[in-house]
Structures are given as C-alpha cells and as structure tokens.
Structure 1
Amino acid sequence: MGDLPPHQALEVERTVDPNGWINLAGQRVKIGTELANRVITVRLDGPLLHAVHDGLLAKTLPSPFASGERPRLVGARVAATQLPPAPAAVSVERKVPTDGVVMVARQRLRVGRTYAGRIVTIYVEDTHFRVTYEGAEISLHARKGQRPVTRWKAKIHAPKI
C-alpha cells in the first residue's frame, strides 16, 4: 500500500458474503444480496466506491472513507483500466389508476390524477425513479430501497361488464 501514488483510483478484489456485505479496512460496506458469494472488484475513486462484477459496473456507492484518507487495504493496486459504463436504466410501464399512484419495486410513486388511465414509462435508476409520459418527464422520485423490479409491462384490465 505504501508504494501506491496518492490521488489515484485503487482497486481490490473482495468476496461478497451471503448477506451482501464486504469488509474494507475494517469497515463493513453493504453491496447487496444480488452479488452474494461472488468475487467483485471494488474500486475506490475519490468520494465514490464502485463495485464491478464480470466487467460490468454493478453498483456505485459513497465511499466509507474521506476523500483524502488512504485506507490500508490488503491486495490494493492502482486501477489499471477505465471504469466500465453503467448499464442502461431499466424502463417499466404502468397504467395510472384513478388515484394517480403507481407501484414500482414495492414503492408507491404519486404520478398525479391528471394522468389517470394513461400509460407512463418509469426509468428505474440507482437512486431514483424518473416518470415520463410521451417522452416528457413528469416527475422524479427518490428510490428508498434497492428491491428488484419484477413486473415490466402495464397491467391493463378488461372492462367489467
């Protein structure tokens, strides 16, 4: 660790435990259960921590270390490659009910009664949901959890007779 240049991105390999945690210089960091029992490359780049798995950027989190602090990490090396691009945001469709509230990844998003009966597209990103209608952004909601999306298309019911 002493030979590593200051202010350079560091990389280190870690195995994510079955509960989704890794250990970095005595600090526990929650990576997520979707990467449980897998070896990932952890990249410390200034105020950010990037988790890379199979050559894809899996997650970006705030670093548990101050930007000037250089933790003593076993197996640390200077980052040799560029950070891989983030995967594109997942998009889902929802039909807005009369109350104007849709659900995505078990989170309620208040779209508004103005859009009742219309199908909106919701882009699921790391930290927020971006709601659009006919290409125009109509709302932005903070993402409160990291639950996976399980339903992609709008559920359109046949009219009751």
Structure 2
Amino acid sequence: MARLVAVCREGEEDYPFLARQIPLYIDDTLTMVMEFPDSVMDVEGHEINPAHWKQFSEYYSKLKQQNLNIALMVTSREVYSALSQLVPCVGCRRSVEHLFSHSVERGNPALEPLIVKPKGMLTLTKACLSDMKKLYTLFYIHG
C-alpha cells in the first residue's frame, strides 16, 4: 500500500525524491510525496486463485508477444479521456493529469511496472509483459 511520506509547501521544491516516490501536486503551493513499497510486484507474496490463474494462463498463452505489447499500450489521449470520465473531482483530476504530464517529461520509476514513454504512451515494463505471473499479479491482485 502506498503511503504519504512528506508534504512540501511553496519554496520547498528541492525535495530529494527516492526511487519509489512520486509527487502529488495539490495546487501551486502544496505538493505531497507518495511512496510505493518495493514489494508491489512480489509475485510470490500473494495468494493465487486457481480458477483465475487457469483462465488467465490460457488466454495469455494464446497471445503473441507483439499483440500483447500493443494491447497493453495506452495513448495520452486515452488516459486524459478516461480521467475526465472516471474522476469527477476537478482538483483530483488535475492532480493526476499533472502527475501524468510530469511523468511524460521526466519519467518516473516509482510507478513501475507502469512506464510512461517520452511521447506520452503508457505501457508496462518488458519484464512485466514477458512474465505471466507478474501480469497476473498486476491485473488480479492489484487491479
């Protein structure tokens, strides 16, 4: 579970972000720092439902790697469109939009296995895409 580790007020922009930390921009004068645990993609630490695993592995084995890569790419236009439909709070939506645009500009390893490419494409790391258990954990445990 992610946790709040710092609150930065105006003038404290030089916060030393660690690898699994992201800024959450509240407004021009306030930024909160959220930290994700390193164990997010710990495949062995979660209980697997045998019925879900069987169905997932059958579907996964039917896909070619190239089709999987394409299916799990989301354009920035799709991200913004989904945000406008799914996040009714304008302030919350703007905060997420700011985080996304910040990730496009600078990259952000804290969100791994999610990665945002420089042109705004949201996808997954190659290690996650090629590992059936990691994908299962992402979709069925954290989904």
> TM-score, normalization: structure 2?
0.21
Structure with bigger helix share is 2
Structure with bigger strand share is 1
Which one has the largest radius of gyration?
1
> TM-score, normalization: structure 1?
0.19
